[in-house]
Amino acid sequence: DRTVGEGMAAGSHHLYGLLALRESERDEDAAVLVDSLRSRFGGRAEVRWAIALYTGDSETAAQLGTELRHNSRFGIQVEAARVILP
């Protein structure tokens, strides 16, 4: 509920919220969140990366992940996603 109800900020942390919604079988809530993220923060590479991973767009996710891996705050999230996602 926190993932859906909290005020949003742009960031790659939304990937983990989307995955939690998927695991909770709340696909409609995840779809609403994806749409909201795209409309509010669609220009942010971190958000595009999170959405690409969640939606299975591996080509876009890989491209953005490579571009952002060297960011000191973001690189660890790319590596964490590689470990937890199939």
pLDDT in tens, 6-65: 555 667 778 888 888 999 999 999 999 899 889 888 888 988 999 999 999 999 999 998
Q: Which pair of tokens denotes residue 7?
A: 């005020």
Q: What is the pTM of this model?
A: 0.78
CA distance 16 to 46: 12
Amino acid type, 33: L
pLDDT single digits (tens) 52-86: 999 999 999 999 988 888 877 777 777 777 777 76
Q: Name the strand (E) or helix (H) holding 70.
A: none
* Start-to-end CA span in the chain (Å): 25
